[in-house]
Structure 1
Amino acid sequence: MTLAETELAREARQILRDRFGLDEFRSGQAAVIERLLAGKNVAAVFPTGGGKSLCYQLPSQMLSGTTVVVSPLIALMKDQCDALAARGIRAARLDSSLTEQEFRDAMRGIRDGSIRLLYVAPERFFNERFLASVGSLDVSLFAIDEAHCISQWGHNFRPDYLKLAELAGTLNADRILALTATATPAVLEDIRKAFAIERDDAIRTPFHRSNLHLKSTVVTAADHYETLRQRIESRPRGATLVYVSKQKTAETIAEQLSDDGIPATAYHAGMDAETRATIQQDFLASGDGIIVATIAFGMGIDKANIRYVYHYNPPKSLEAYAQEIGRAGRDGERSICELLLLPEDRVVLENFTYGDTPSRHSVGRMIDFCHGQPDEFFISHYKLSFETDIRILVVRTLLTYLELDGYLQATSPRYDSYKIHPLVTSRAILNNFDGERREFLAGLLGQLTKARKWFSLNTVTAAKALGQDRQRIVKAIDFMAAQNWIEVNVSDLVHGYRWKRRLEHPKVIADQYFEKVVGREQSEVSRLEDVFAIASAASCQSRLLAEHFGETMDAACGACSHCLGEGPHTIPAITHREIGDGVRTALAEVCRQYPDHFATARQRARFLCGLSSPQMIRSRLSRHASFGVCEQIPFADVLRQVERISPEL
């Protein structure tokens, strides 16, 4: 029986009209909602702008419990909450931008049932206060946005996402919905396995959109900006996005366009939240505004009439490319998406990829550190990152490998430091209780240590002193905060682990994991090769892009650069360059000053290519005059040349 034939279908369509102001479901939406209402786990692979959010927003109004949506996009959460509020649907979001009062108000609405749709940033699930709060919720639907982040084959792997399947079990979620716009067949298979989704319950809608006309042009450094300016001036005015890879480039290009009489605004993550919000709102309201932005712009931005998307610098993968061009032409009207390819940009993008790969020495230090821990232990990811000189995302990835391989099991994270500011007296709090609960809270309040404004609380010490489970301490703090009796500030997040089986050969494991991160490095470099292959326009560009995502087009698009006879383009190879004597001298000097930071050739090559590491940042080496002097030389070339230089320099 299909959704169109059921009583639930009639109710769903009524809600679609009355609450969302829509007459019909888009392609794939009805199939997804039908399966969810039948209690099935579902995957939805819709192109950017394909209407994924309705697939959980509408069921949230029909299911009895809470719909929890995990999304890494704070801007999306805020925009969707605001849009739902305008329709009379209450939704709450929990992310790092909320104040303590906003957090308390959200949790109160969820508990009393007035809020049935909850957006949560992934990091919240490592917040023991949050876990204590949602542990008793009736979770009818657990939705995971950007679900491709769970796959190591995906373009944006986030190790925390691998734990969401386990979390869904902890929350006793009745059904799961995994959503993404950019899943290759291999990534979709990973998503299905992680969330126990049957093959027939993976709904994929057509990827190709005929109104998007893909273009590419190979440029030189001398005519790069001029080509962009001419394109904007020669085409009819319309809302325009210009994507660049660096914050400085965004500011420079926006300024140049404005100076040339083409008003443009820069946007990047280095701006404060208020400025970014203002720029977004101005662009949404404009018919022909121009934004020059890094990838920080666009996630969750729903503007139907974007006519042009220019890539001034190439995206790092076809997945990123698909997401970015997918923001154009959501109204179905013709839109142009043009890549202005400067071949030298490949060096910068490839070097970004190499920046995440630690040395074998650093991986070994991390494995040895974990190997030396007791059967159960807590560690700070940030401290471990600094101690081993491995970027934080890679630290989390390596720890996840230890979990997936059956060595470690993650336990509940906790905050080592709690600071509490009373808003009422202890007597006023205790007057609400009697018996054992009053005695317990009196003992807990007695564990507070006074400072100027805030009281400090060591929850581990308090639990031992009171003979109570630490979780009860945390729940009591959260309850008092929810009643507006206290204000809470937490810090020093540490993650708990227990050994399931010990490492017998730590050095062998370190070798294996180093090979894994190097392999992922090569995978990321190959993704860039795919982008350059599309840009060369040697065949129909729309067909190549569709095939990457597992879709077969019956005919060429007829509108891309290749189909219009503008390709194929010749992309010149990067000229090999040698490191000069001046660079060698500067490197020798910095190695003498900071010998501990340059123990390996990879560390030295990273410094020369401007690829920072935790210890470089802490030592301010990223501000050194020689930092990044070789950023225009491929990392592999720099590494090869540095390896020929004596370690003693």
Structure 2
Amino acid sequence: MNTPQQTLTSRFQLEHFRPGQEAVIQSLLAGRSTLAIFPTGGGKSLCYQLPALLLDGLTIVVSPLIALMKDQVDRLNALNIPAARLDSSLSTEDVISLYDGLDNGRIKLLYIAPERLANERFLARLSRLNISLMAVDEAHCVSEWGHNFRPDYLKLAGLARQLNVGRTLALTATATPKVAEQICRSFDIEPNDHVQTGFYRPNLHIGVAPCSTVDKKAVLLQRLRQAPDQSTIVYVTLQKTAVDVATYLNDNGIQTEPYHAGLKDEDRHRIQDAFMAGESPVVVATIAFGMGIDKSDIRAIYHYNLPKSLENYMQEIGRAGRDGLPSRCELLACRDDLTVLENFTYGDTPDPAALANLMHWLDGQPDEFDISIYELSHHFDVRPLVLNTLLTYLELDNQLHTTAPFYTEYKIAFKEPRSAILDRFDAHRAEFLTRLFNTGKTGRTWLTLKPDDAAQQLGEDKQRIIKALNYLEQQGWIELRVAGVRQGYRKTASNLATAEQIERIAQLFAERETRDIDRLRAICDWAETQGCLQQPLMAYFGETLTQPCGQCSGCQGHAASLPARRHKAPDRAVIDAMVNEAHEALGTPRTLARFLCGITSPKASRARLGKHRCFGALADAPFAEVLALSTQALPSPAPQP
């Protein structure tokens, strides 16, 4: 078998490992799960790509970033390394080919999103394979203490054990000591297998420029005029800000493109490709841009608005200067930005009445039940992410246990005549398939059947039906499409909705809200550091920079003092006007306050209130004050028993 060094040279056409890479790879090859904390651009991907070629079996790469998946798979295939990605953009033929590659061992690396592991059909396929390694990218999402907690990530450790994965590699660029500890605990990683290379990058020149809201555009323009042709990302919070700032820069002679999640796919791809090729040097973007971007010569990162946390800031500036050459990272710091960012955080905290009603509903379900996240989200006016987080909390408390997600509807297109398919089976199996097809509803192209209904009509086990359909698809005789995903649960405790339990769950959400608000304010505290900016930034991530960096704005004698935050009091007349309109979707103080601060909710979206003239009318006012006045104008109803 080739050594890691031989494989690095022969397959990846590289001469030397970067710091930390070889230690991680040797740990994995020895069969031990490992945590790798490398800075953005530090070479995390090689830590699983190389072992994948030296281990027997499949390597699964779990990543939330589709752009990263596509980019890495394309690069690996260009090196004749058999890698594939599974996402919703693939055609049916591509998916069938991919499954064939998994079954015959041709594919060595498979990239998937974490949500894919909630797919019962996909898990059944994986359970038949030898999975030697699971790589979990953005592993800080595992931690409820992290800046980007995702409930789906909490389930990955259990799924790795369920699938008998040989070892796990957790990767992140932004883990504080507390987050790293929780990652190691989740994946049974020993302290000696926690490899951290250091966050400090001396080629990044960090600066803070105190700005008022009205001055920021002019300051940014002045900075960009100094080097208008250098690759630069300007990060903003809102989509409308991206468009507004890009328009201003173009009007003043700086060629710029706005980039945000609201653009059409083809426009996002065009802008990204032009930036990567150097044809469009400056992009004004929300954080949707840059995830998975591997461009080595980005010379400047400007934060036009405050980032959401120091973790986000570190991740975003990490995209600069990957070629090792000097790069500028400057924060145009303004406390006024806190209002919008805080409002987003407050918007994720569920309304107390909605939370209580949801928990009473869960308590009223039978011991085995299933749900649609989409339906519950709209019924109780709780965002899907918040709903998933609640269910995860209940799982962690051993109140609920997930059984399996499943689809309520299967659509079948026959690639061969039914008679030809049935002729391949003995009389008993052919008779079963005939009766199964007869339970469906025939359309012009698709036969639609529901496994639950079919199982009841035929007196058969539902799993037999699903396995039969999967087999027919694997053989290439039918095309399958699924719809109506539902997640199964089993209650493992009685009385989920006691007053104490509801209060405790509400307190968890309140604590998350407080932590997120504290992270926002920590940005301003850091920006006003007297002296070196790099030293407290490294300390936040558990590292010690013994000497001042000597090149940040603080070391250059430009300590920042941010302008006082402007205070815009909410207009009570706007609140009263909305109360008088008596919209059912805005029936509690928090839902009304969210609407007035420009924060969407499932019920308000369904009621098409996003186009109402008052949506976001108080977006510049502090959420707490809007909520207080909304409470006075619209007392909160008592929770339903």
Q: Please give the alpha-carbon distance, in whole angstroms, between the structure 2 residues aligned to 1:555 and 1:93.
A: 44
Give the AA of the match of 2:188. Answer: A
Residue range with higher mean Cα deviation, 147-156 or 458-467: 458-467
Post-superposition offset of 1:16: 0.4
Give the AA of the match of 2:246. Answer: A
Q: Does 1:202 align with 2:190?
A: no
Q: Does 1:122 align with 2:110?
A: no
Q: Please give the alpha-carbon distance, in whole angstroms, between the structure 2 residues aligned to 1:397 and 1:330.
A: 35
The Cα offsets for residues 551-585 of structure 1, whole Å up to 9 and x where unpaired, read as 11111111111001111x22233244333353143
Answer whether contact 1:385 1:392 (CA < 8 A) is retained: yes
Find the counterpart in structure 1 of residue 383 from structure 2.
Answer: 391
Answer whether contact 1:132 1:471 (CA < 8 A) is retained: no
Could you say what secondary structure the match of 1:306 adopts? coil
Q: Does 1:636 align with 2:624?
A: yes
Could you say what secondary structure the match of 1:19 adopts? helix
Alignment of 1:496-645 (within 5 A): 496-503=488-495, 505-567=497-559, 569-590=560-581, 592=582, 594=583, 596-645=584-633
Find the counterpart in structure 2 of residue 4 from structure 1.
Answer: none
Give the AA of the match of 2:441. Answer: T
Match for 2:142 among 117, 140, 150? 150
Residue range with higher mean Cα deviation, 502-511 or 398-407: 502-511
Give the AA of the match of 1:130. Answer: F
Answer whether contact 2:139 2:170 (CA < 8 A) is retained: yes
CA 466–37 in structure 1, closer or farther in 2 if over 3 Å, else same: farther
The Cα offsets for residues 82-130 of structure 1, whole Å up to 9 and x where unpaired, read as 0001101111111222222222111111111111111111111122221
Q: Does 1:219 align with 2:211?
A: yes
Give the AA of the match of 1:70. Answer: V
CA 95–447 in structure 1, closer or farther in 2 if over 3 Å, else same: same
Q: Please give the alpha-carbon distance, in whole angstroms, between the structure 2 residues aligned to 1:250 and 1:543.
A: 31
Give the AA of the match of 1:58. Answer: L
The Cα offsets for residues 585-609 of structure 1, whole Å up to 9 and x where unpaired, read as 322323x2x1x33333222211211
**TM-score where L is the length of structure 1:** 0.95
The Cα offsets for residues 19-55 of structure 1, whole Å up to 9 and x where unpaired, read as 1111011111101100100000111111111111111
Q: Please give the alpha-carbon distance, in whole angstroms, between the structure 1 residues aligned to 2:150 and 2:101.
A: 30
Give the AA of the match of 1:26. Answer: R
Find the counterpart in structure 2 of residue 5 from structure 1.
Answer: none
Answer whether contact 2:299 2:328 (CA < 8 A) is retained: yes
CA 597–468 in structure 1, closer or farther in 2 if over 3 Å, else same: same
Match for 1:46 among 38, 51, 59? 38
Q: Does 1:381 align with 2:373?
A: yes
CA 648–15 in structure 1, closer or farther in 2 if over 3 Å, else same: closer
Alignment of 1:285-304 (within 5 A): 285-286=277-278, 289-304=281-296
Give the AA of the match of 1:635. Answer: F
Give % identity.
Answer: 49
Answer whether contact 1:360 1:511 (CA < 8 A) is retained: no
Q: Please give the alpha-carbon distance, in whole angstroms, between the structure 2 residues aligned to 1:525 and 1:447.
A: 54
Give the AA of the match of 1:374. Answer: P
Post-superposition offset of 1:534: 2.2
**Unaligned segments of structure 2, at least 5 residues:** none
Find the counterpart in structure 1 of residue 484 from structure 2.
Answer: 492
Post-superposition offset of 1:438: 3.8
Post-superposition offset of 1:439: 4.1
CA 437–179 in structure 1, closer or farther in 2 if over 3 Å, else same: farther
Q: Does 1:365 align with 2:353?
A: no
Find the counterpart in structure 1 of residue 153 from structure 2.
Answer: 161
Match for 1:258 among 232, 239, 250? 250
CA 436–169 in structure 1, closer or farther in 2 if over 3 Å, else same: farther
Residue range with higher mean Cα deviation, 429-438 or 212-221: 429-438
Residue range with higher mean Cα deviation, 441-450 or 258-267: 441-450
Q: Please give the alpha-carbon distance, in whole angstroms, between the structure 1 residues aligned to 2:6 and 2:428.
A: 50
Q: Please give the alpha-carbon distance, in whole angstroms, between the structure 2 residues aligned to 1:340 and 1:110.
A: 49
Could you say what secondary structure the match of 1:511 adopts? helix
Find the counterpart in structure 2 of residue 307 from structure 1.
Answer: 299
Q: Please give the alpha-carbon distance, in whole angstroms, between the structure 2 residues aligned to 1:564 and 1:598.
A: 51
CA 493–291 in structure 1, closer or farther in 2 if over 3 Å, else same: same
Post-superposition offset of 1:624: 1.1
Could you say what secondary structure the match of 2:570 adopts? coil
Answer whether contact 2:570 2:625 (CA < 8 A) is retained: no
Give the AA of the match of 1:226. Answer: A
Find the counterpart in structure 2 of residue 178 from structure 1.
Answer: 170
Q: Please give the alpha-carbon distance, in whole angstroms, between the structure 1 residues aligned to 2:569 and 2:326.
A: 47
Residue range with higher mean Cα deviation, 364-373 or 127-136: 127-136
